[in-house]
Amino acid sequence: MIEQLRLLGPRTYLRAVPVAAVAALMIGLPSDLIENPIFGRPVPIRTIDYVIWAVTSLLIGLVFAIRPTPVTAEHVADDEQQQSRAIWGGFVSFLAVGCPVCNQLVVAAVGASGALSWWAPVQPAVGLAAVGLLLWALKKRLDTYELTSCPLPPVPAGR
């Protein structure tokens, strides 16, 4: 995968920057990793939260920046699956870096003390799952990156 990333052109990386920035804002603002007046966070931010946030934002940017040209309906479906994985990876990343007691679903399920004693320790593992999901989507995207033109049909023997 590293070799495939090296072969990407500079335009791909330039396309990745604004997408990664949007992903970083969409994850960082509501989780209060980017301080803002709208959202608050009563639980301190951990260093791992920043790492997961940065890595997943960059991976989302790369997945969306690599745009293979689909040649069949199967390739179109693969492209949509990769985009869906990237979106889910972003959502899982948000769950991983967000304030444990601010997540209403977690608080409703296990209460505020459960959110701190159960959900908060699990969040780094959830962040690693988000990174894994995004790496999988990136690998699938890189596998289809060379798909830039319609394949030629085989020439029948005897012609």
154 in a structural domain: no
Going by pLDDT thresholds of 50, 70 and 90, the confidence category of residue 72 is: low
Total number of domains constituting the chain: 1
102 in a structural domain: yes
pLDDT, position 149: 45
153 in a structural domain: no
pLDDT, position 70: 57
Going by pLDDT thresholds of 50, 70 and 90, the confidence category of residue 52 is: very high
136 in a structural domain: yes
26 in a structural domain: yes
Is the model's pLDDT at 14 over the cut of 70? yes
pLDDT, position 101: 83
User: What would the mean pLDDT of 79-91 be, rounded to a whole number?
Assistant: 83
* Range among 10-14, 67-71, 104-108, 146-150 rated most confident: 10-14
User: What would the mean pLDDT of 125-147 be, rounded to a whole number?
Assistant: 86
Residue range(s) defining the domain that contains residue 63: 2-143
- What is the identity of the amino acid at 67? R
Is the model's pLDDT at 30 over the cut of 60? yes
150 in a structural domain: no
> Do the beta carbons of residue 36 and residue 29 sit within 8 Å?
yes
Six-digit token string for 2: 């590293």
Q: How far apart are CA 90 and CA 53, in angstroms?
A: 9
